[in-house]
Amino acid sequence: MRSVRTVAYELPVQFVLSHELSVPMYAVLRYEADDPYAVRAVFHPPGEGRTVEWFFSRDMLAQALSEHTGHGDVLMWPAADPGRDVVFVALRSPAGSALLEFPARDVDSFLRETRSVVPPGTESSRLHLDAELAQLLAGN
């Protein structure tokens, strides 16, 4: 059995409704060493009894600290305004879209911790593709 090392950060985010209006909420960024390329983001919208979950790449989140990145349903970029230390995350699905504002300092801290678990460039060594494929083919 593999040992799973997990990094989880709960952080405040802003759900941007318009240029003048944002709603505060919380999100949990979660990274698991056995899924070394992915970050799971779980959002807790206020007034909702449910959570919303998205997956995106750790590399894309890191890139968003300094430049525009993403494609399709997930786009990320740093704030263009001096003094605003945030990362914007735009999410789109058939159910709707959302623009979220993450504190860049918290994102950077989260990423530093994930890098201590799985250093960049070593992700593929964490994958056990032959075992996963054998399990899929066995119908387990």
pLDDT at 28: 97
pLDDT digits (tens, 9 = 90+) for 103-138: 999 999 999 999 998 887 656 665 555 565 666 677
Q: Which comes out higher in pLDDT, residue 47 or 76?
A: 76
Measured at the CA of 11, the angle between CA 81 and CA 99, to 5 degrees, comes to 50
- Percent of the chain exceeding pLDDT 70 equals 85
**CA nearest to 73, candidates 54, 101, 88:** 54
3-class SS at 62? helix
pLDDT of residue 1: 41
What's the CA gap between 15 and 68, in Å, rounded?
Answer: 19
Report residue 139's pLDDT band, with 50, 70 and 90 as the boundaries: confident
Letter string b/e over residues 50-76, b meaning 16 or more CB atoms within 10 A of that residue's CB: eebebebebebbbbbbeeebbeeebbb
* Residue among 117, 85, 109, 129 at smallest CA distance from 4: 117
Report d(CA 99, CA 22) in Å as an integer.
Answer: 10
pLDDT tens digits, one per residue of 29-46 = 999 998 899 999 999 887
**Tokens 């709707």, residue located:** 96
Give CA separation, 91 vs 11, 32, 71, 72, 75, in Å: 18, 22, 10, 9, 7
3-class DSSP assignment, residue 124: helix
Instruction: Determine phi and psi for 92, rounding to 5 degrees.
Output: -140, 135
